[in-house]
Each structure stands twice: as C-alpha cells, then as structure tokens.
Structure 1
Amino acid sequence: MMMRILHYGLGYPPERTGGLVQYVTDLMVEQVKQNHEVAYLFPGRVNIFNSLTEIKKSKMRINNVTSFEIINSLPLAVFGGIKDPEKFQRKVDHAIYNNLLDDFKPDVIHVHSLMGIHKEFFEVAADKEIKIIYTSHDYFGLSPNPTFYFNGKSWDEENDLNFWLNVSQGAIETKKLKLLQLPFYSNIRDIIKKFKKSSFQKEKHYKNIENEAFPLDYRKSFDKLIEYYQSIFNLITLFHFNSRISKTVFEKNLVHPISSYKVLSISNSTILGGTKHIKLDMSKVKKITYIGQYAEFKGFTDFISLAEELKDKDITFEIYGENIDVPLPTNVINKKRFSSQEKKKVFEDTQLLIVPSRWKETFGFLALEALSCEVPCIVSDNLGAKDIVPEVLVFEVDNMIKTLLGYIDNRFEIKFVTRIPSFKIHSEEILKLY
C-alpha cells in the first residue's frame, strides 16, 4: 500500500552531519524506491531582516522527495544546553503548519528530533488525527543537552530543574546558534575546525550552582520549557526506540506514560546485510582501534587511559576521528579523520574495535558497521548498539581496563555468527510501525 510520509529531521548533508541525518536521508531514499510519496521538513535558513516564521518549498535534494524548509525555526541546540529558554518555546501561528499538512496531506509523520520544530506542528497534526512516529536519536526535549551528559556523567537519573539550570552555564548564546543556519555555514565549518586548538582538552566541568542563585524569572522560564517539551512528547502516537537504553531513559524521564512503543535497532544504507562470521582471539590482537570524536562523553579519555595501562604489552593503539593533534602515550597513533571512501579499508585493517561511550548513546552506527564488516568489537554497556553485540563483549563503563586485562591474560577467544538485516528489510519494519 502506497503511503504519504512526511519526515521531520535536521536537514541534508553537507550542511548537517551525523547518524541522525544519515538515517533520515537513507530511509527517504529507500521509501521512494518502494513507491511511497515522501516529503522532508527541516529547519532551514534564518532571515536576519525578518523574524517571521514561514515554510517554503526548497530545491529537491533527493529524487522524488519534496523538501519543505522552515524559515526562522526555533534555535538548534546541537552543541548542548540552552542559554535563552524563552526563545526555544516561541509561539507561531498554527496556520503555518496547517497549510503545510493540507498541502502534502501525509498519512504519517516521522519525527527524528525535537530540535528546531514548534509545538504548534504537533498540535495541528494531532487535531488532524495524523499518526506521529518519533525515533529516539537523541534526548533533546527530555534534556537541554541532546546527550544528557554534563560535568563528567549522564544526568538521566537526576533530571531536575537544577540540572537544566546548570547545563545552561556552558550553552552557546542563541544569536550564535543562528550561525548554524546561515547558507554558507557548511562552507566555513571545516575552516573553523582547522583553527581548533591542536592540543586536546578535557571537557570543561562547571561548579554546581543552587537554584536560588539564578534569577526567579530565569528559573520560571526553564520550568515552562520543561513543560513545553513534555507536552510535545505527550502528542506522540508511537515511540520508536532504537535501543533498550533509549527506551529506559525515556521511560524514566517522561511525565506521561508511554501508550505505544516499539524497540527496533536502526540501520543505514552502508550496512551489508547477511550472515556474518566474527572471530576474536585476544592472543593474536596486536592493534586496538578507537573511532569517533576525541571527547570525554564518547569515552576517548578512557581509551587513552587503557593504552597507558597496557603500555608494556605488545599492542599498538590507534585513534581515528578528528584532524587535530592531541597529546598521546607513545603506543597510540593518531590516524585522524578518514573519508567515507576509506572506511572499508580502515575496517579491513582493524583487529579489534572498542566503542567506550560514556553517554547513554541511543544507538551508535559504528558497532553495527564493524559487525557488518566482520570486525570484532567490544562496547560499553552505555552503548545502545550493545543490543546487537554478544553480552560477553559488553563491558561496564567504569571497568573497561579491568575487562581488557582479563581478556588478554586469559587469552580470551570467541567465535559467533550474527544475522544482519539489509536496510531494505529495516525500511519494511519501519513501514509496519506506520
């Protein structure tokens, strides 16, 4: 049965990057192949001369996918934290979204993030009784920080007003966030990164401030913002949790009970489906690899600590991810960033991949991509993708060093077979949710 599907996401590459963007664009391509009518709504340009919010059709970026761009959307808190809470709950005329939905007439709306989108969109969709599916790519809305990670830990079990207020200490001013939506931002993003400090610094930690130290109006504005997002989540028809971890975090932090949900691992078009035979023999591992941001919340500092602990072993460590120089132990090689065309070669050269996430990562394509290429990986119990990894290869986030030492000392060996579905099959599972 042909469906009319409206997706809401953060935009297209190269302006937007990351797993969420890859997933949305890949899913739309696959749905078009299956003869569905697909449209994409996303936060677009900022008009510095006129603050009025409107929706315009933009150029077609994917064949047969109609694009709708929100001019002057709500701010995008992609760097974590909210400095101006009142600007994140600005009201707009319901007619803006009413006209959009009357124009495209979707059978279902698939939402991939709450960043940038107004509450009025959900209210109009609910009034029209259009089914709204929400995929849990991040925690924005439950938290002002999409990762829930702040001051060296995840706050998903201590999510109160004080957390929201304190996260705001490190937030970027809203007027600076608007730079992300300027047309030329993607062109200057890499230039900005080239000027990034060459020495790696641990993420800044802030002194905890009591609620009373913040102005009363500021506290009330955050209270209203928390209620604002909770009321949006209450309008979701079905939650698609991409892991058991994301389901647990949402259940703990939603005020209203979840009426309908499905836990289903996500995928992307690069995944090679089929039966995979994977072997790990620690007695033969001479190289251990980390891929990702050189950031504490990703477990990067833990990986470096592991390398330091094993400096007397006959093992080399390598890191991929950012084109910056970082202080490293002598047994760690910085391979920096690789292109998508080089990814296959990187995996072919990987003997053991470690994914040591400290934030409660909702999924994490890296582990799936590794298994798809028959690369053994050991993952943190904070990684959503642990759902597809044998339990024996999952370590407690604070016990990585102890776990790896145990594997090495005991000459740990494991062989396992896993069946990875193709992206086409995954797309068909999503259609069942619709």
Structure 2
Amino acid sequence: MRILHYGLGYTPERSGGLVQYVTDLMGEQVKQNHEVAYLFPGRVNIFNSLTKIKKSKMRISGVTSFEIINSLPLAVFGGIKDPEKFQRKVDHSIYNDLLDDFKPDIIHVHSLMGIHKEFFEVATDKKIKIVYTSHDYFGLSPNPTFYFNGKSWDEENDLNFWLNVSQGAIETKKLKLLQLPFYSNIRDIIKKFKKSSFQKEKHYKNMENEAFSLEDRKLFEELIDYYQSIFELITLFHFNSSISKTVFERNLVNPISSYKILSISNSTILGGTKHIKLDMSKVKKITYIGQYAEFKGFTEFLELAQSYIHKNIKFEIYGENIDLVLPANVLNKKRFSSEDKEKIFEGIQLLIIPSKWKETFGFLELEALSYNCPVLVSEHVGSKEFIPHEYVFKVGNLTKYLNELSISNVVTSFSLYLPTFQEHTKNIERMYIKNNG
C-alpha cells in the first residue's frame, strides 16, 4: 500500500505527541512493507512568498519526505490573528504534481495546520481516500484545545468564540519564526528564559461581536466556513477516543458519514498485560506530570496539595524547567529526560492527570499504565477508556474525590492489555482498508 501522511514535521523542529505518533507510525509501516511518504510544512522563504513542494532529505529510512515551502501559518500557540492569511489560495497544480508523483492509495492527515484546502480538493478529484486522525481540535476551533478563559468552549462554539480567542493570538509574522531553519537551534535557549505556561496564561474580557470590526467578523466567518469545507472532504474520520468523536460531532456542520474509534499508541508504550494496584493507605507521594498550565489542570492539582498541607503526604511536579511559588508540600522536579522515564515512573506511587481541556487522547496515561503505575484521571482525558470508571473523577472535584479515597483507604486492582505498537499499526492498516461507520 502507498501511504502519504501529512503532519507537522520531524523532531527537533517540531515536538509533541502528534509528531511522535506520526513518525513512529511511518517507521513501523515501512517495516510492514508499505511505501510511505511524508508531507509537512517546512521552511518559510522570506524573499519569495511563492508556495511550492520540495523533496526533502530522508529522516526515516524508507520514508520519502516532501516539504511545503511557504505553507499556511502554524497556529501552534492557539488563536488566529490574521484570518485571511490562514485561507490563502494556491494553485491546484502544486498538489496535483505531488499526488501524480507519489500516487498514494491512502492519504492520512494528522492536522489541518499549515495545509491548504487545495490539497484536499485535488485528492478528492483523484478519488484518493483521505483519513483524518483527531489529534486536536484545530479547524473546529482556532485554538487546538478549545480551552479559553478557564473553560472548554466546545459546547459554545460560535463566531463570538473565534473573535474572542483571537485576542491572545500571536501575530502571524511571529509564527513564521517557527519555520525558519535556525529556530530549532535556539528554541531550547528561549525556553530557559520563558515564563511557564501557568505564568503566561491570561484571561480576557469576553466581548460582544459588535466590539470587533465588520471586516474581522466577515473574515472569521469565512475562515470558519473554510475549515468546515475541508472537513467535508474527509473520507474517514479516525477518532482516537469517544471524547474526540463527541466534540467533532457537536461542532461539524454536516453529519459524519464514516468514522472509526481507535485508540492510538507510540513506540515507547510497553505493550502486553498490565496489573495495576492502588492502595491508598500506602500512598505518601502524589505526582503530576505535564505543562504547568491551567488547561492541564495544574491549578486544581496545586489546590489539592494545599488542602493536604498538614497531612503526611508529599506532592511532586514534573514538566517545565522554571521556578514557581508553590505550597510547602510540593516539590518542583522540573523536566526529565527520556533516559530517566523508566526510573521516574517506577518511583511514582500515584499519578494524577487532572486535564481540564477535553483531551482527544493523552499518551501520559498509557505511559504510566505501561509501567504498572496507578493513575487517576479527569473525565476529560480521552484515554480514560483504558481504566475502570472508579479511577476517573469529575473536573473541579479532585480534592473531594481523593479525600473519599483516602478516608476509606481504598485498595483496588485491575488488569488490562495494552496493544504493542506493531499491533496498533496493523489495526490502522485494517482501518484504511475498511470503512467502519
């Protein structure tokens, strides 16, 4: 099978779970004797704004790379400042030549960031099946998480939301810096001096539509229609959780004709049968891993720690190399390397994932489970489907929930089977071949 993936690129230029998943999947598909190519938004040419596709150097053995020079902007920080620049037209021949060159049987799209509508139109004209994996909500929302001003807006998604969330968006010319060749070399230096996600988060005053210009309202209405028209060209939606399916169904204008719910994985997840045991009487340390950010539930975790300030339980946080003012019983252990991951997880007595945004999936839970680590997750974590419902708490109810577990000294255990990444890749292949609706 000839498979063309579209994603955000490779490490170190890009990072995160989406990038890891795409690159792992492509590598495994090559091992399973598929012909694989990767299309991604590449460099920005500051001297020539013409969009073109260039064959790039091979980063994964057996995977042909195609780089979009001067792609659409990448709204990786959430929000859109210049809606007209996110729907810029290009000549269909750019993508026609690419598809005539590689001749894919399947196109697997992992994000709408950076890619033009013309790509989907050409593929549809050529009757090539387009599979879309719901890694985030970009396109349904200008913010990939749908989280803004302290809540998820997936149930209140209208023009007013798009206008308001744009208040905190980064200027498009600054977004282009992400795609300059030297950016990955200075990114780690920038991170050393940046504020934490928690410190950067701001709440904005919700304004009525009339507070925005007529031009902005018109442009954002056009942008909403632009992305909705792209989603109409998707052949098969691959939802990685029931949460992502629900959010997409609620926010797509037209009904979904074909979909498959299939959890995802990556090459670092240790497959096989796992045995998880939680004995609250023995828990003396509770752990948080992730961005120090409100949408990740970081504030709720700190509120939990504060409520236990006079009890014999310590808390630790991992995630960002910055200093914060924290409750006295919270130790900031900052970022850890992949080499230390096994040691970290084996030392965790209880991991809490208190996400407030409706995570489409969430690899952190699977990583913990793969090391037989007890984990409690909020109802907004897509991968919650792997664990019994008593390990899932309501958003905003973490402290009460843990108090109830502690008072009763709950002892629970369960077993589960995590597919290997090879098994997952086979499931993806079967999904390509058969449309399940």
Which AA in structure 2 matches 1:262?
Answer: K
The answer for the alignment partner of 1:28 in structure 2 is 26
Q: Tell me if 1:372 matches 2:377.
A: no
What is the aligned counterpart of 1:285 among 249, 261, 283? 283
Deviation string, structure 1 residues 157-202 (Cα, Å, up to 9, x no partner): 0000000000000000000000000011111111111112379526
- The alignment partner of 2:403 has SS state of helix
The answer for the alignment partner of 1:72 in structure 2 is 70
- The alignment partner of 1:137 has SS state of coil
Which AA in structure 2 matches 1:43?
Answer: P
| Distance across 2 between alignment mates of 1:202 and 1:403 | 29
The answer for the alignment partner of 1:246 in structure 2 is 244
| Distance across 2 between alignment mates of 1:99 and 1:200 | 45
Which AA in structure 2 matches 1:318?
Answer: E
| Distance across 2 between alignment mates of 1:66 and 1:200 | 39
Deviation string, structure 1 residues 193-236 (Cα, Å, up to 9, x no partner): 11123795262000011101111111000000000000000000
| Distance across 2 between alignment mates of 1:95 and 1:388 | 45
Q: Which runs of 4+ in 1 moved over 4 A?
A: none
| Distance across 1 between alignment mates of 2:102 and 2:353 | 41
Which AA in structure 1 matches 2:190?
Answer: I
Structure-2 change in CA distance of 1:105 and 1:199 (3 Å): closer
Q: CA RMSD in A?
A: 0.9
Q: Tell me if 1:201 matches 2:171.
A: no
- The alignment partner of 2:267 has SS state of coil
The answer for the alignment partner of 1:139 in structure 2 is 137
Structure-2 change in CA distance of 1:202 and 1:72 (3 Å): closer
- The alignment partner of 1:201 has SS state of helix
The answer for the alignment partner of 2:413 in structure 1 is 415
The answer for the alignment partner of 1:393 in structure 2 is 391
Identical aligned residues as a percent:
79
The answer for the alignment partner of 1:164 in structure 2 is 162
What is the aligned counterpart of 1:340 among 331, 338, 341? 338
The answer for the alignment partner of 1:229 in structure 2 is 227
What is the aligned counterpart of 1:107 among 102, 105, 108? 105
Which AA in structure 1 matches 2:170?
Answer: I
- The alignment partner of 2:11 has SS state of coil
Q: Tell me if 1:218 matches 2:216.
A: yes
Q: Tell me if 1:429 matches 2:423.
A: no
Q: Is the 8 A contact 1:230 1:254 kept in 2?
A: yes
- The alignment partner of 2:77 has SS state of coil
Q: Tell me if 1:90 matches 2:80.
A: no
| Distance across 2 between alignment mates of 1:75 and 1:128 | 26
Deviation at 1:107, TM superposition (A): 0.2
| Distance across 2 between alignment mates of 1:8 and 1:224 | 24
| Distance across 2 between alignment mates of 1:11 and 1:197 | 26
The answer for the alignment partner of 1:17 in structure 2 is 15
Number of paired residues? 432
Structure-2 change in CA distance of 1:432 and 1:199 (3 Å): closer
Deviation at 1:310, TM superposition (A): 1.0
- The alignment partner of 1:375 has SS state of coil
Q: Is the 8 A contact 1:320 1:335 kept in 2?
A: yes
Which AA in structure 2 matches 1:421?
Answer: P
| Distance across 1 between alignment mates of 2:365 and 2:38 | 28
Deviation at 1:56, TM superposition (A): 0.1
Which ranges of structure 1 fall in alignment gaps of 5 or more residues? Answer: none
Q: Is the 8 A contact 2:124 2:233 kept in 1?
A: yes
The answer for the alignment partner of 2:39 in structure 1 is 41
| Distance across 2 between alignment mates of 1:183 and 1:327 | 36
The answer for the alignment partner of 1:355 in structure 2 is 353
| Distance across 2 between alignment mates of 1:146 and 1:355 | 19
| Distance across 1 between alignment mates of 2:98 and 2:311 | 61
The answer for the alignment partner of 1:116 in structure 2 is 114
Which ranges of structure 2 fall in alignment gaps of 5 or more residues? Answer: 433-437
| Distance across 1 between alignment mates of 2:156 and 2:269 | 36
Structure-2 change in CA distance of 1:188 and 1:201 (3 Å): same
The answer for the alignment partner of 1:151 in structure 2 is 149
| Distance across 2 between alignment mates of 1:341 and 1:194 | 21
